[in-house]
Copies of this chain bind each other. A is one copy, B any other.
Amino acid sequence: MATKHSPLPIAQGTDLRNRLIGEAIAILEHEGLEALTLRGVARAAGVSHMAPYRHFTDKEALLAAVAETGFRELSADMGGAASKTATAKERMRAIGMAYLRFARRRPGLYRLMFGPVQPDETRFPKLAEASRATFAHCAEAVAERTASTEQANAGAQEALPLAAWALVHGLSSLLIDGHFGTQRSPEDEDRRIGEVMALFGRIFQPHSAS
C-alpha cells in the first residue's frame, strides 16, 4: 500500500482539487470570466455541484486558487523569457513582453487575476504570496537594470519597479479590454505595442530639465 504518511502538511490537494482549477482555467479561456460558474466547473469536472466545497470553502476561494495558479504561470513565463537574455536591458524587455503575451494569450485568466479577487493577506495568503512573487520578479529585473546604468535619484530607485509594472500592466489591461485598436489589424497592434515598449525604456534614463 505504500503508506506514505505525509510528514509535511503541504496542502497537496486531492486530484479533484487540481482538476477543478484546470477546468476553471479552460472555461476562463473559452467562455471568459463572466461565464465562470462554480456549478459549471463541477459539471466540466464530471462531479456533483457540491463536490467543489470539499476543496474550497466557497466560490471566491476557488477563484483565488485559480488566480494563484495564474500568477505562478506568469512568473514562470517571465523567468523563462529572462533566462534567454544576455544583458539586463534585454532581460527587462523580455520580461515585459512575456507579461504582455501572457495577458493576450489568457485574457480571461488575466482579468481574474487582477479583477474580482483581492489578494487579501489574511484570507488568501498563498495568493498574496504569488502576486508578491510576480512583482518581485519584475522588481529584480528592474533593479538589475538600474544597477547597470548608475542611477542618481534614490527615491526613483524605489519607484522604478512600480512604474515599470504599472506601464506594462496598464498596457496589457487596455489591450485586452479593447480600449484601443479594437478594429485595427493585428500587425498594426503589434507595431504599436513595440513602440510603447520602446518608450517604456525611457523611464530608466535619469532626468534632464526639459
Contacts and interface: CB of A to CB of B under 8 A. Distances in A.
A82 to B, nearest CB: 19
A118 B177 contact: yes
A112 B207 CA distance: 36
Contacts of A162: 171, 174, 180, 192, 195-196
Contact of A210 (B114, B131, B192, B205): B205
A5 interface: no
Contact of A163 (B33, B156, B196): B196
Contact of A199 (B34, B156, B192, B208): B156
A40 to B, nearest CB: 17
Given A170-B165, A204-B210, A159 B116 contact: no
Given A120-B178, A159-B192, 9 more contacts: A115-B177, A118-B178, A159-B195, A159-B199, A166-B167, A166-B170, A166-B171, A169-B174, A205-B210
B118 A195 contact: no
Interface in A28-70: 33-34
Copies in the complex: 2
A125 interface: no
A120 B203 CA distance: 33
A196 B114 contact: no
A102 interface: no
18 contacts: A118-B178, A119-B179, A120-B178, A121-B183, A135-B180, A156-B198, A159-B198, A162-B180, A163-B196, A163-B199, A165-B174, A168-B170, A170-B171, A170-B173, A202-B204, A203-B203, A205-B205, A205-B210
Given A199-B159, A208-B205, A174 B179 contact: no
A16 interface: no
Contact of A207 (B156, B178, B201): B201
B155 A195 contact: yes
A165 to B, nearest CB: 7
A114 B179 CA distance: 8
A177 B167 CA distance: 15
